[in-house]
Structure 1
Amino acid sequence: MMLSDLVSNLVRLPAPLPIWHGQVGQDGWLAAARAAAAAGGRLVALWGVDRSASGGALAACVAYATPQGLIWLELRRDGATLTVPDLAGVFPGAQRMQRAMTDLLGIAVAASRDTRPWLDHGLWPAGMRPLQSGSLAGGESAGKLPADYPFVRVEGNGVHEIAVGPVHAGIIEPGHFRFSVVGEKVLRLEEHLGYTHKGIERRFTELAPLEGYRLAGRVSGDSTVAYAWAYCMALESAWHCEPPPRATWLRALMLERERVANHLGDLGALGNDAGLAFGLAQFSRLREDWQRMSGEAFGHRLMMDAVVPGGVAPDLAPSMPDRLRQQCDRIAQEIHRLRAVYDEHAGLQDRFLGTGRVVAPLAAQLGLTGLAGRASGQAADLRCDRAWPPYDSLAVKMATQRGGDVAARVTVRFDEVLESLRLIQDICAGLPPGATRTAPQAPGMAAIGAGWVEGWRGEVLVALELGDDHRILRCHCHDPSWQNWPVLEHAIIGNIVPDFPLINKSFNLSYSGHDL
């Protein structure tokens, strides 16, 4: 199968980015994956949906980023055939997504090498599939203890295990990390996540479409703008609603402010993890000033609930664009000075250089994405590759490195902060006049839509299905951390145990965005 032949049989959705949708058969499921890989495509997300309540069937869905755009395919399954071919041999990142799909919907993967439960920690009632219609009638699980997870064991002379988590000494969310080490050298790391599975995807089906943006914005609090924009893009695509130009520019302004805030926080934390408390103090000060200004401009420090269906909720006060531009000038000057401190600090560079390296071929093979991918030579950024309004008129400069280590990921963050500051100034200078919101109208029929946005961590996808009763049938939110958590296991191999916090922070992956 050629990718061009596949796309010719798909339907393009009315979205600001090229997004294609269609069905494939049993043989086409694996053939399409191979065609996407052969064309240099990436796996973006894999999930399942149960349409039986509306007279349909179960289906496995997959989304690929390809030269033609995003390709969203589905393979429908009936009650007699609830298996799909394994895609992990083509895209290794599919493994955990497939395991999650099995846990949530009961769609099994034929000939999979790893059938361990991923989200089901042994606390769910027997046979429970949270996203399958009627499966919630099972018994209670109160009082049960989690089942032992069958970690892969490493054996040999001098090998021992270090168990970290799932409860950590801090306010971060739970995750279990099992290290196999000799002395302090790490031979293998295996993760187990899903401890905070919250039922978000089920909750979406209980909300009206015009209310879903608030839940989407809480999937991962540090990416509230990215998720809310992706959800609104999906709904606007399904309902054929186009937000006003001023609204799209304000959305981009918020998205870039979100990117800067997170990079400032991470740059300080990375300095602190390498023993430079001065870096933490300075970047924390900058981030606090930055978030206070966001709160003043948009009514919330994280800009939560500011992106709404049809546009944005707040507009900027007349004096605010100039104030935002002046803040960018001040921050940029301080960033340049702090970057010089980081670059010239021998102790810091000794900890950064060569630590947690993911070489470009391995990054490509495993599907490393977002800022971590760009630090390992994976030149992909939707703002550049698939520039939607207003990015199509802003000429975003992509930040890339090939070193693949902590130092490279720090460099990408510095570069992206400075580029976002430039973008914010250009947005404030070119902000078009006019309305900030259009009222979306339901079409009176079943509809689908997708939103695809480059958040600060990487590409965020929201796939939305609406029934003819104007209710949400399925809303799948995908965080780039799904792709990057498995790569973190490879990044630590050969490093020493004390370097793990530094390597982990250099990725800074989301637990909440993973454990829906």
Structure 2
Amino acid sequence: MDAFTQLFEKGRNGPCRPWPRVEVSAAEWTALTGHLVAGDLVLMGLWGDAGVVHMALREEGGGRLAVATCPCPDGTFPSVARHHAPAARLERTVRDLFGLVAEGAPDPRPWLDHGRWGVRHPLGTSVRAEPAGDANVVLAADAYPFLAAEGEGLHQIPVGPVHAGIIEPGHFRFSCYGETVVRLEGRLGYVHKGIEGLMAGADIAQAARLAGRQSGDSTVAYALAFCRAVEAARGIVVPERAHALRAVMAELERLANHLGDIGGICNDAAFALMLAHCGVLRELVLRASARGFGHRLMMDKVVPGGVACDLAPEGVAALRALVAHVRAAFPALVELYDNTASLQDRTVGTGFTRPDHVRQFGAGGYVGRASGRAFDARRSLPYPPYDRLPFEVAGRTEGDVNARVWVRIREVEESLGLIVRLLDTLPAGPVLAELNGTGEGRAGEGLAVVEGFRGDVLAFVALGAGGRVRRAHLRDPSWFQWPLLETAIEGNIVADFPLCNKSFNCSYSGVDL
């Protein structure tokens, strides 16, 4: 019996639902790391807690998921990143927030802590910052030790953290030979908002509102992941109509973001016409969402136990009209994209992401599926109502900007079909479960994974004895996509960075926590 199977079986009767969590020794933790290196397991998340560190693992190609918990009595744990690079920024975050140190870590630099908080390890020991005696503390943004690139004729180009328009802040350091990018390194953390600290001690209703604000363009996905974790912890049975309405909202969110991204990518290739037309369609999606659910982004509409509002007949009519309109207008835009030579010249072959890198980082969403990794949480880890809905998981193998556009195009088409199927089969009945008598006030833990428009969102929730949130962690898919952007731009020219960046469209807020 392999290490993961032992972990899974041992935790079946533990506190976490529906997937187990098991306390492991340092040696067992290291053995699981070996399975990550071998490619048998996929790293789904790594986060800190009071005196322990957790690691969520999934079988590659399988439907089993489990959490390993390593106690840190001396404030240290064996580094996963020492052998498996995708864990590096997660380990740096654990150190910043909890003060737990990954022994043997290849990168000891801070990640979220820019030296401006006034305290260190705010979710752990929480001591006043005294940087003068600690060489590992960075006081200012310009003191951050970016990785060096050596070679004759190389120069550096700093970009950000402030960008044009309404883009979130992030710093990008390019090392270039002429116009060719030799190395790119990103630095984030500028929109850190302490969301995990705010969720600790909150009641589940307030925590659900906070979850939906970790990354605002994915408010439905985040709220859904959090609520499913709470429902698993408490044994709450969600009404079938609520499951269906949640999926309608999730597909509307996917539709709006993909339409916006397709237009934005084309705009970064100097083809503003697509941006204008896709922008109109995205606006129609937002207006129909407001008609159906009372909010353009459907914020705070997914709640523990179901949904906050029902879909009235006029809302159904608005959504059906939306689908009909987009289905009529979208094919012409696809043809325009595919038959514009100047646009294809910019997107085809640009920003190539290697399939082995995608597999190593377990990248999901359009980034993974455009490079041959077919993971989609709706299919691979099915949850209601997707466990009984037919749909195709779009995929490509070219791994370039063009492939990421085509994955989005196919997902737009699938989302339109899913919305129609959901409306055609919308069950009658209540939209919110009665929470009384379903473990209210009971301690417990829940784990959930849902598919957002960027990829899989993971949520872990631990409820205290009073029913309030003791610990909540939500992992954005961008944690495993940002590093791949750095590899995708290598060998491209600096002017192609906006195009590559938009084709990834990673979340800043989602990883800044």
Match of 1:506 in 2: 503
Q: Distance in 2 between matches of 1:9 and 1:35?
A: 18
Residue 452 (structure 1) shift: 1.1
Residue 414 (structure 1) shift: 0.1
Q: Distance in 2 between matches of 1:484 and 1:165?
A: 19
Q: Distance in 1 between matches of 2:339 and 2:18?
A: 44
The partner residue of 1:398 within 389, 393, 413 is 393
Residue 136 (structure 1) shift: 5.6
1:256–1:420: 8 Å Cα contact kept in structure 2? yes
Structure 2: tracts of 5 or more residues without a match: 133-138
Residue 393 (structure 1) shift: 1.3
1:43–1:91: 8 Å Cα contact kept in structure 2? no
Match of 1:32 in 2: 32
Match of 2:90 in 1: 97
Moved more, 321-330 or 94-103: 321-330
| Equivalence map 1:356-371=2 (5 Å) | 356-371=351-366
Alignment-mate amino acid for residue 122 of structure 2:
P
Q: Distance in 2 between matches of 1:215 and 1:18?
A: 23
Match of 1:60 in 2: 53
Alpha carbons of structure 1 residues 147 and 294: separation in structure 2 relative to 1, 3 Å = same
Match of 2:381 in 1: 386
1:12–1:18: 8 Å Cα contact kept in structure 2? no
Match of 2:104 in 1: 111
Q: Distance in 2 between matches of 1:307 and 1:12?
A: 29
Q: Secondary structure, in 3 states, of the residue corresponding to 2:512?
A: coil
Match of 1:125 in 2: 118
| Equivalence map 1:239-250=2 (5 Å) | 239-250=234-245
| Equivalence map 1:168-317=2 (5 Å) | 168-317=163-312
Aligned Cα root-mean-square deviation (Å): 1.9
Residue 60 (structure 1) shift: 0.2
Alpha carbons of structure 1 residues 350 and 147: separation in structure 2 relative to 1, 3 Å = closer
Q: Distance in 2 between matches of 1:252 and 1:14?
A: 28
Residue 26 (structure 1) shift: 0.7
Residue 137 (structure 1) shift: 5.7
Match of 2:418 in 1: 423
1:5 aligns with 2:2: no
Q: Secondary structure, in 3 states, of the residue corresponding to 2:20?
A: strand
Moved more, 337-346 or 207-216: 207-216
Residue 97 (structure 1) shift: 0.3
Query: What do the CA deviations read for 1:411-462 (whole angstroms, capped 9, x no partner)?
Result: 0000000001000000000000000001324444321111211000010011
Moved more, 183-192 or 146-155: 146-155
Q: Secondary structure, in 3 states, of the residue corresponding to 2:245?
A: helix
Alignment-mate amino acid for residue 3 of structure 1:
F
Q: Distance in 2 between matches of 1:138 and 1:268?
A: 45
Residue 14 (structure 1) shift: 9.5
Q: Distance in 1 between matches of 2:472 and 2:284?
A: 35
Structure 1: tracts of 5 or more residues without a match: 51-57
Residue 5 (structure 1) shift: 2.6
1:357–1:404: 8 Å Cα contact kept in structure 2? yes
1:268–1:284: 8 Å Cα contact kept in structure 2? yes
1:451 aligns with 2:448: yes
Moved more, 156-165 or 202-211: 202-211
2:247–2:385: 8 Å Cα contact kept in structure 1? yes
Q: Secondary structure, in 3 states, of the residue corresponding to 2:390?
A: coil
Q: Secondary structure, in 3 states, of the residue corresponding to 1:319?
A: helix
Q: Distance in 2 between matches of 1:331 and 1:478?
A: 32
Residue 336 (structure 1) shift: 1.0
Query: What do the CA deviations read for 1:243-272 (whole angstroms, capped 9, x no partner)?
Result: 100001000000000000000000111111
1:72 aligns with 2:67: yes
2:43–2:361: 8 Å Cα contact kept in structure 1? no
1:13–1:449: 8 Å Cα contact kept in structure 2? no
Match of 1:54 in 2: none
Percent identical residues = 46
Q: Distance in 2 between matches of 1:3 and 1:75?
A: 15
Match of 1:41 in 2: 41
Alignment-mate amino acid for residue 91 of structure 1:
H
What TM-score do you get using the length of structure 2 for normalisation? Answer: 0.94
Q: Distance in 1 between matches of 2:80 and 2:319?
A: 46
1:320 aligns with 2:320: no
Q: Distance in 1 between matches of 2:85 and 2:230?
A: 30
Query: What do the CA deviations read for 1:297-325 (whole angstroms, capped 9, x no partner)?
Result: 10000000100111001111123324312
Q: Secondary structure, in 3 states, of the residue corresponding to 2:484?
A: helix
Q: Distance in 1 between matches of 2:507 and 2:26?
A: 33
The partner residue of 1:152 within 123, 129, 147 is 147
1:176–1:191: 8 Å Cα contact kept in structure 2? yes
Query: What do the CA deviations read for 1:272-304 (whole angstroms, capped 9, x no partner)?
Result: 111111101100011111100101110000000
Q: Distance in 2 between matches of 1:242 and 1:138?
A: 46
Alignment-mate amino acid for residue 324 of structure 1:
L
Q: Secondary structure, in 3 states, of the residue corresponding to 1:342?
A: helix
| Equivalence map 1:125-144=2 (5 Å) | 125=118, 128-133=120-125, 135=126
Match of 1:22 in 2: 22
Alignment coverage as a number of residue pairs: 502
What TM-score do you get using the length of structure 1 for normalisation? Answer: 0.94
The partner residue of 2:494 within 463, 482, 497 is 497
Q: Secondary structure, in 3 states, of the residue corresponding to 2:21?
A: strand
Alpha carbons of structure 1 residues 311 and 14: separation in structure 2 relative to 1, 3 Å = farther
Residue 12 (structure 1) shift: 6.4
Residue 170 (structure 1) shift: 2.2
2:82–2:106: 8 Å Cα contact kept in structure 1? no
Alpha carbons of structure 1 residues 139 and 150: separation in structure 2 relative to 1, 3 Å = closer
Residue 138 (structure 1) shift: 5.9
1:436 aligns with 2:437: no
Match of 2:136 in 1: none
Alignment-mate amino acid for residue 506 of structure 2:
L
Q: Distance in 1 between matches of 2:216 and 2:388?
A: 28
Query: What do the CA deviations read for 1:136-184 (whole angstroms, capped 9, x no partner)?
Result: 666899xx75461001111221100000011112221111100000110
Alignment-mate amino acid for residue 481 of structure 1:
S
The partner residue of 2:458 within 450, 457, 461 is 461
Q: Distance in 2 between matches of 1:36 and 1:389?
A: 29
Alpha carbons of structure 1 residues 469 and 193: separation in structure 2 relative to 1, 3 Å = same
Alpha carbons of structure 1 residues 117 and 69: separation in structure 2 relative to 1, 3 Å = same
Q: Distance in 2 between matches of 1:407 and 1:2?
A: 40
Q: Distance in 2 between matches of 1:323 and 1:152?
A: 52
Query: What do the CA deviations read for 1:360-418 (whole angstroms, capped 9, x no partner)?
Result: 12221233222110001111001111221110111221011000000000000000000
Match of 2:135 in 1: none
Residue 38 (structure 1) shift: 4.2
Residue 18 (structure 1) shift: 5.3
Match of 1:55 in 2: none
Alignment-mate amino acid for residue 361 of structure 1:
D
Alignment-mate amino acid for residue 149 of structure 2:
V
